[in-house]
Amino acid sequence: MQNDFTQNQNNFQEEIELKKSLSSALARKIDLLAKLYGEKKITLDEISLILGLDKSEVSLIFSRKGLMKKKRIFVGGGAGFIGSNFIYHMLEKYPHYEIINYDVLTYAANIENLREAEKSPNYSFVKGDIADYEKLEEIAKEGIDAIVNFAAETAVGRSVHGKAADFIHSNVVGTHTLLEIVKNYKIPKFVQISTDEVYGTVGLDEDRTFFEDSSFLPNVPYAAAKAGGDLMCRAYFNTYKVPVIVTHCSNNYGPYQHPEKLIPYFIFRAMNNQSLPIHGDGRHIRDWIYVRDHCEAIDLILHKGVLGEVYNISADSERPTLEIAKIILELIGKPHSLVNHVPDRPGNDRRYSISAGKIAKELGWNPSNTFEDAMPKTIQWYQHNIDWVEKIREKDQDFTNYI
Ligand SMILES: NC(=O)c1ccc[n+]([C@@H]2O[C@H](COP(=O)([O-])OP(=O)(O)OC[C@H]3O[C@@H](n4cnc5c(N)ncnc54)[C@H](O)[C@@H]3O)[C@@H](O)[C@H]2O)c1
């Protein structure tokens, strides 16, 4: 007769045997799926459905087993707002990709943003200027599968009241230097991140929106410099078949945005019971997108976008600045009386409006976050990261001069 101990031991043994046979069946299944994936007979989405695993988990298993090629992605300007968010998106979703963050670290950069990323063996940082051909060559020589370029001077106020020459350096000369590297080192893909501001303004009473083939009519030095870089991309595709794709996105908001930009600036002022300066009548309309939705769109363009094409990216969420100020005040629990109208900025565009119909139709992209959900979580992020903002304010005391 078996006692309890022997019975438990037998059960345990059976359990181990069962696990062993299950895991070898699973290993065989994974190998078979990997083979089909290699032959392009099945997609990563289908595999993750079959295995009941997340796509990033499947990628990790495949790369650990040496079944998936490691890709080297060069991210220009990754220490800035959107670049930092994009790096986190990529490390989370493609744990087998190598990400090189290349940034010259202007006042707008914050390497602190990447502290978590630094823990990943697949992330590295190189300090350098995108207009420095020799420095770029050092990386290109080791092989790059794709460039995603966020590096740019981006603050409209600084381009109006500060040095427009800096904007020409990074946004035009820098983009041109990257194009030369892509051409000379035969890099397979270059995604240039640009803005809806290149199309210029729409009147408040006009029923008009900009499409990918609309003319460029920039009104401020920032937008003109971005347009210059974008046109250089077009010319390099047509002249040399450089594999470039350009994106035009609307205004982003979310974590890691420099507090000189409208939404974080308003959040801080409201938290500190300071007035929220509104240019002119506050009826200027901007189209707001949560930064992680923008990153998702870039990821899709990087993997599935058609070379030589241009894609507009927008969450179709146009709102007047005055409304943004009031929403922030309400969400933080502060009175509307903190709104303070100040003289308008020269060249301030009335309204930006782009259609994201092409990326939705051709690549199946749609934003996942609504303004109503993403704005409260953005405010919470800044409320929980006061130190992050205070450090920037200590480093760059005069940023409010350019708002
Ligand atoms: N923020 C938005 O709402 C928005 C909307 C649409 C498009 N964009 C575009 O997205 C890109 C990123 O915007 P962001 O808001 O993250 O900007 P950001 O100002 O937060 O970051 C820009 C980064 O580029 C780096 N940089 C600048 N010049 C450089 C150079 N010459 N060499 C290397 N690095 C350089 C800076 O150090 C900084 O880290 C820009 O090209 C911008 O035009 C931004």
pLDDT band of 400, cuts 50, 70, 90: low
Q: Is the CB of 175 under 6 A from ligand 1?
A: no
Query: What is the pTM (predicted TM-score) of this model?
Result: 0.86
Q: How far apart are CA 256 and CA 69, in angstroms?
A: 31
DSSP per-residue letters across 29-79: HHHHHHHHHHTTSS-HHHHHHHHT--HHHHHHHHHHTT-S---EEEEETTT
Q: How far apart are CA 72 and CA 129, in angstroms?
A: 19
Residue 313: count of CB within 10 angstroms of its CB: 28
Short-list 79, 77, 56, CA closest to 68: 56
**Over residues 256-263, mean pLDDT:** 94
Q: How far apart are CA 319 and CA 74, in angstroms?
A: 34
Q: What pLDDT, on the 0 to 100 scale, is given for residue 1? A: 45
Q: Is the CB of 131 under 6 A from ligand 1?
A: yes
Q: What pLDDT, on the 0 to 100 scale, is given for residue 345? A: 85
- The more confident residue out of 318 and 4 is 318
Structure tokens at 375: 């704005």
Active site residue 197: yes
Structure tokens at 156: 């409209």
Q: Is the CB of 195 under 6 A from ligand 1?
A: yes
Q: What angle do CA 80, 85, 89 make, to 5 degrees?
A: 145
Domain boundaries, the chain: 12-64, 72-402
Mean pLDDT of the chain: 91
Q: How far apart are CA 276 and CA 388, in angstroms?
A: 21
Q: Is the CB of 109 under 6 A from ligand 1?
A: yes
Closest atom, ligand 1, to C-alpha of 149? 41
Catalytic residue (one of 196, 230, 318, 349): 196
Q: What pLDDT, on the 0 to 100 scale, is given for residue 212? A: 98
* HEC letters along 364-387: CCCCCCCHHHHHHHHHHHHHHCHH
Q: Which of 84, 89, 105, 106 to mutate to test the pocket of ligand 1 (most atoms within 8 A of CB)?
A: 106
Whether pLDDT at 16 is above 80: no
* Helix or strand run (H / E) with residue 357: helix 357-363
Q: How far apart are CA 200 and CA 219, in angstroms?
A: 6
Strands 146-149 and 190-195: parallel
Nearest CA to ligand 1 atom 21: 80
**Over residues 109-120, mean pLDDT:** 95
Short-list 153, 169, 187, CA closest to 74: 187
Q: What pLDDT, on the 0 to 100 scale, is given for residue 4? A: 57
Q: How far apart are CA 316 and CA 287, in angstroms?
A: 6
Q: What is the three-class DSSP state of 140?
A: helix
pLDDT digits (tens, 9 = 90+) for 359-391: 999 999 999 999 999 999 999 999 999 999 888
Q: Is the CB of 104 under 6 A from ligand 1?
A: yes
Active site residue 240: no
Whether pLDDT at 397 is above 70: no
Just give the CATH number of 72-402. Answer: 3.40.50.720
Ranking 94-98, 288-292, 321-325, 373-377 by mean pLDDT, the lowest is 94-98
pLDDT digits (tens, 9 = 90+) for 207-234: 899 999 999 999 999 999 999 999 999 9
Q: How far apart are CA 44 and CA 50, in angstroms?
A: 10
Q: Which residues contact 265 (CB under 8 A, 6 or more apart)?
A: 259, 403
pLDDT band of 45, cuts 50, 70, 90: confident
* Helix or strand run (H / E) with residue 339: strand 339-342
- Ranked by mean pLDDT, the top range of 159-168, 175-184, 255-264 is 175-184
